Structures are given as C-alpha cells and as structure tokens.
Amino acid sequence: MVRAKISRLSDSEPGERFRIAKLDINDDIMKRRLLDLGFVPGCEVAVLQKSPLGDPTAYRVCNTTIALRKEESDHIYGERIYDGNE
C-alpha cells in the first residue's frame, strides 16, 4: 500500500475528503478555536466549496458546515482520502 502524502487542508479542492493528522499552530487561541469547531486529529473533513473569491472555503466536519480562511486551513495537516485508501 502506498502511504498517502501529508498535505495541508488548504491544498484540498472541493469534492475531496481529508483526514486530519495534526494542527501545527503557534497561536494558541487559533488552535483552540479550530479544535472547538471540530477540526480534531483523526476527524474526516469534506471540502464543500470555495467562496467566489477563493477564500474562505466551506468544510463539512462532524455533521456541520464550517467556513475557514486559508490562514486557518493552512495549519491543518493530514491526508487526502481517495476511494480505495480508506
């Protein structure tokens, strides 16, 4: 099995799914906020759509739609989920 590459959530495109591996953030308040919004390691995120200007992007996480700016989703690392690699 090929080990999926670690990428940033911000690199994922609408229609893709992503599994969070870690949050790499120095800003404690932002980290706390992202965790509270449901961006927790191990969780699966579906990329829904980008706003017309490309930022923010809407994500589906824990059964709720949450919009994040790129400066936030840049800090969320994980693997893109491809069918067949679940």
Partner 1 sequence: MAMNEYTIALAGNPNTGKSTLFNVLTGLRQHTGNWPGKTVVHAEGFFTYNNNRYRMIDLPGTYSLYSNSADEEVARDFIIFEKPDITIVVLDATALERNLNLALQVLEMTSNVIVCVNLMDEAKKKGIRIDTKKLAATLGVPVIPISARNKEGIDTLLKTIDSMVLGKIKTNPITVRYSPEIEQCIEKLIPRVKEVIGDAYPARWVALRLLDGDMSLLRAFQQQPLPSVKEVSIYACHGPAKSI
Smallest gap from Cβ 28 to partner 1, in A, equals 7
**CB within 8 A of 58, min separation 6: which ones?**
48, 49, 50, 51, 65, 66, 67
Pairwise CA distance, residues 66 & 18, whole Å: 14
**Which residues 31-60 are close enough to bind partner 1 by CB under 8 A?**
32-33, 36-38
**Which residues 17-36 are close enough to bind partner 1 by CB under 8 A?**
28-29, 32-33, 36
Nearer of residues 6 and 62 to partner 1, judged by Cβ: 62
Tokens, residue 4:
């999926």
Is 6 a binding residue for partner 1 by CB under 8 A? The answer is no
